[in-house]
Structure 1
C-alpha cells in the first residue's frame, strides 16, 4: 500500500484519515487537535523531528491498519446532531466519571510520594486545573453552545455571529487544556513512573495518559470536524 499523504499533508487531515496515527503524533509530542492545521513538514521542524522519520512511522501505521481503523470517516460523514450526541454521551459523561474517580488517587499519590518526588505537587495542581476547565467547558458546550450549533445546522438561528464567538471561545479553552496536558506529559517524563513508584502511582500515570489521549480525540472531533462546518 502507498501512503496517501505527503510531507505537505496537514496533521489534522492525517488523523481524520487514520485515527491511529494520533499515537505517532503523541509520541513525538505533536499537537494534532488544536495545532493540527499545519503540514507534516512544519510539525516535524517545530518538534525537532526528521520529516522522513515521521513519514516512515506513519507508513507503518497505515500499512498495518484495517478498514475498521479508519473510523474517523464516520464522523466526517455524520450530521451535526449525531456528533453532538456522541460527544455528550460518549465523551462528556465518561469524562466526568473518570475525573471524579481519579481525583482521590492523584491526591493520595502526592501525599504519600510528594516529599521524595516534588514534581507531584505540580502534577496535582495541573490535574485539578484540568478537571475544573473540562467540567466548566463541558457544561458550557451542553447548555449553551451545542444548542446554538444545532440551530445553525437547521438554519433557524437569528444571531449567527454570537454562536461563532462562542465557538471561538471553546477553541481557546481547547488550547488552554492542551497546554495543561503538554506540561503534564513533560513533568511526568511521558507519564513514566519512577522505579520506586507504588501501584497507585503507576495507576495514576497510566490513567492520566489515557485521559490525554481521550481529550485529544475529543478536541480533534470538535475542532477539526464539527466547528469548521460553521466557521
Structure 2
C-alpha cells in the first residue's frame, strides 16, 4: 500500500469528494454516503459497506492525473458557487419532484395489486417536495444572501440548521430506497414504472451532490470564517 493510499484512507469522504474531482461518482456507485456522512473516514466507510479496499483505492487513484484538468467547485468563489447550486440543483429539484410524484401516482394506481408496487411512494414524495421547498426557500431568502453580503459570522447559525435539515434529506433518500426496493424493477415493469425509477435514481444522485457542495464546500467555508461579521 502506497503512502497516498494510507493518507487517503484517513481522509473523510466529504474531503475527498471536495478535493478530488470524480471521487463523488466513485462513492455514489458503491453506495457510500459522501454528503450527509461526509465526515466519515474513507476506511470506516469501506469497512461498514464491506467493500474491497484495493478496488476503491484503485478507482480513486485513477482520478489523480485528471485532477488538474477537471473543473472543481472547491476553488469557485461563493457567489458563483451559489448561482451554480441555484441553477443546477434548486431549479432541477423543482422540475424533478412534480414529475416523479405524477409517475408514482400512476404506478400505484395501475399496479397496486403487484407485490413489488411501491405503495405510499407518491404521498412520501409529496412530503419530500414540501420539506425541500421549505428548505430551499430558507437558503434562497436568508442564508445565501447573508453569505453573498459577506456576513459569514452571522451565517454560522443558519448553516448549522441547514446541515441538520440535510441529515433529514439523507434519511428521506434511505426511505425512498426502502419503498422502491433500492430501485429494483420487476421483470414486467411498464415504461412508466421504468421512467419513475430512473428518475428517482437521478434525483438521488443530484440531491447527494447538492448536499455535498453545500456541506463540504460552501458551509465548510462559513464554519472556518474568521471575519468580523
Which TM-score bucket, shorter chain as reference?
0.7 to 0.9
Q: How far apart are residue 209 of structure 1 and its match?
A: 0.3
Matched ranges for 1:163-174 at <5 A: 163-174=155-166
Q: Tell me how far apart the structure 1 counterparts of residues 173 and 21 of structure 2 sit (CA, whole Å).
A: 19
Q: How far apart are residue 90 of structure 1 and its match?
A: 2.4
Structure 1 residues 30 and 229: CA distance shift in structure 2, 3 A: same
Partner of 2:27: 25
Structure 1 residues 42 and 229: CA distance shift in structure 2, 3 A: same
Q: Tell me how far apart the structure 1 counterparts of residues 143 and 112 of structure 2 sit (CA, whole Å).
A: 40
TM-score normalised to the size of structure 2?
0.85
Q: How far apart are residue 63 of structure 1 and its match?
A: 6.8
Structure with bigger RCO (C-alpha 8 Å, 6+ apart)? 2
What do the CA deviations read for 1:16-62 (whole angstroms, capped 9, x no partner)? 233432233223321101111122111112223243332234345x2
Partner of 1:38: helix, strand, or coil?
Answer: coil
Q: How far apart are residue 220 of structure 1 and its match?
A: 0.7
Unaligned runs of 5+ in 2: 224-229
Partner of 2:227: none
Partner of 1:125: 123
What do the CA deviations read for 1:105-145 (whole angstroms, capped 9, x no partner)? 11111111122136512332332222112111111110111
Unaligned runs of 5+ in 1: none
Q: How far apart are residue 67 of structure 1 and its match?
A: 5.3
Number of equivalent positions: 220
What do the CA deviations read for 1:62-107 (whole angstroms, capped 9, x no partner)? 2795755x32x2x211211111111112221122122223321111
Partner of 1:142: 140
Greater shift after overlay, 25-34 or 185-194? Answer: 185-194
Within the candidate set 160, 181, 185, 2:173 is matched to 181
Q: Tell me how far apart the structure 1 counterparts of residues 190 and 65 of structure 2 sit (CA, whole Å).
A: 35
Q: Contact 1:30–1:43 at 8 Å: present in 2 too?
A: yes
Matched ranges for 1:187-202 at <5 A: 187-202=179-194
What do the CA deviations read for 1:151-190 (whole angstroms, capped 9, x no partner)? 3x2x5x7xx45x3221111111111111111222244233
Structure 1 residues 143 and 210: CA distance shift in structure 2, 3 A: same
Partner of 1:226: 218
Q: Contact 1:109–1:201 at 8 Å: present in 2 too?
A: yes
Q: CA RMSD in A?
A: 2.4
Q: How far apart are residue 4 of structure 1 and its match?
A: 5.2
Q: Tell me how far apart the structure 2 counterparts of residues 194 and 34 of structure 1 sit (CA, whole Å).
A: 30
Q: How far apart are residue 201 of structure 1 and its match?
A: 0.1
Partner of 2:181: helix, strand, or coil?
Answer: coil
Partner of 2:226: none
Greater shift after overlay, 90-99 or 46-55? Answer: 46-55
